[in-house]
């Protein structure tokens, strides 16, 4: 039985501010250890349920945050930002289930810890087929394109509520509750990891009760950027339409083929931002 694990960082046990999740900041190294331990708890739960192959895709920031020597040896890992499927690199139809570990709420989700969608700098709102989605909703649609159900999501309580609406039947673990978006009330990491391991096992054993996200024959993604300059530059890409000042639209036959385009958009906005800020 194969399990795919996409790992973000803002939703990891105990983390609540930029100092915890940005390389070079005061608490980042401690954050890396907590991240690795949450991932290991999910891996252990998957193994308890009979998983035989586990692939972890690093999905936060530079996407090389896990402490490799401390990662459970049962897992293989994909690292690095430059990959076409971004947070879902490595997923295919050979997997039986997917876990999202350490995920966060979409941009503007009340007091969800460090909430944003893909890029807090560049993206204000992301709409897939008429519905606003966060990273969990978008990535669950990618998994669904391969017929893979997302059975477990860990993060704060606001994120748990978000994904329970987007992914019917999904198992969640709320390791903390956001207070202001930059603060939280957190379950002790040891207890949180026990919860993750238990729910990971239960989710995998119950995977037949969670259906993959259904797919559409035609798909549309709209991206509302934080700056009009981002939208202008991105609209120069073939097939991308400028809807209005800050919003672009892109059509595709499937969600998977949208992901490299979306990834390219993020790279373009990074370059434009450097031009704006000098």
What distance in Å separates the CA atoms of residue 21 and residue 19, rounded to the nearest whole number?
6
Strand ordering across the sheet containing 131-132? 131-132, 123-128, 219-225, 247-252, 240-244
- Nearest Cα to Cα of residue 10 among 123, 99, 106, 98: 106
What distance in Å separates the CA atoms of residue 244 and residue 189, rounded to the nearest whole number?
45
What distance in Å separates the CA atoms of residue 197 and residue 124, rounded to the nearest whole number?
34
User: Could you count the other beta carbons within 10 Å of the beta carbon of residue 226?
Assistant: 18
What distance in Å separates the CA atoms of residue 39 and residue 3, rounded to the nearest whole number?
13
What distance in Å separates the CA atoms of residue 209 and residue 191, rounded to the nearest whole number?
26
Distances (CA, A) of 19 to 15, 23, 28, 80: 9, 8, 6, 21
104 annotated active-site: no
**Kind and range of the H or E element at 197?**
helix 189-205
Residue appearing with tokens 């390219």: 264
The angle, 0 to 180 degrees and rounded to 10, between the axes of the packed helices 28-48 and 189-205 is: 30
| From 116, 188, 209, 251, the catalytic residue | 116
Active site members = 116
């Amino acid at each position: 039985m194969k399990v795919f694990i996409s790992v973000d960082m803002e939703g990891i046990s105990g983390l609540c501010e930029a100092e915890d999740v940005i390389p070079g900041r005061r608490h980042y190294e401690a954050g890396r250890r907590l991240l690795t331990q949450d991932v290991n708890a999910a891996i252990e739960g998957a193994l308890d349920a009979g998983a035989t192959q586990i692939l972890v895709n690093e999905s936060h920031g530079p996407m090389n945050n896990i402490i490799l020597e401390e990662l459970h040896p049962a897992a293989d890992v994909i690292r690095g930002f430059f990959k076409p499927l971004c947070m879902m690199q490595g997923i295919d139809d050979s997997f039986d289930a997917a876990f999202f570990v350490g995920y966060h709420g979409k941009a503007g989700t009340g007091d969800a810890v460090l909430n944003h969608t893909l890029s807090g700098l560049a993206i204000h709102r992301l709409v897939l087929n008429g519905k606003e989605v966060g990273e969990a909703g978008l990535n669950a649609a990618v998994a669904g394109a391969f017929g893979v159900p997302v059975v477990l999501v860990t993060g704060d309580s606001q994120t748990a509520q978000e994904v329970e609406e987007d992914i019917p039947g999904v198992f969640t673990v709320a390791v903390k509750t956001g207070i202001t978006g930059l603060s939280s009330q957190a379950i002790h990491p040891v207890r949180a990891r026990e919860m993750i391991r238990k729910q990971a096992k239960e989710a995998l054993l119950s995977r037949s009760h969670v259906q993959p996200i259904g797919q559409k024959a035609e798909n549309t993604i709209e991206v509302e950027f934080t700056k009009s300059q981002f939208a202008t530059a991105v609209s120069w890409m073939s097939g991308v339409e400028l809807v209005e000042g800050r919003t672009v639209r892109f059509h595709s036959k499937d969600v998977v083929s949208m992901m490299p385009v979306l990834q390219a958009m993020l790279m373009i906005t990074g370059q434009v931002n450097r031009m704006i800020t000098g």
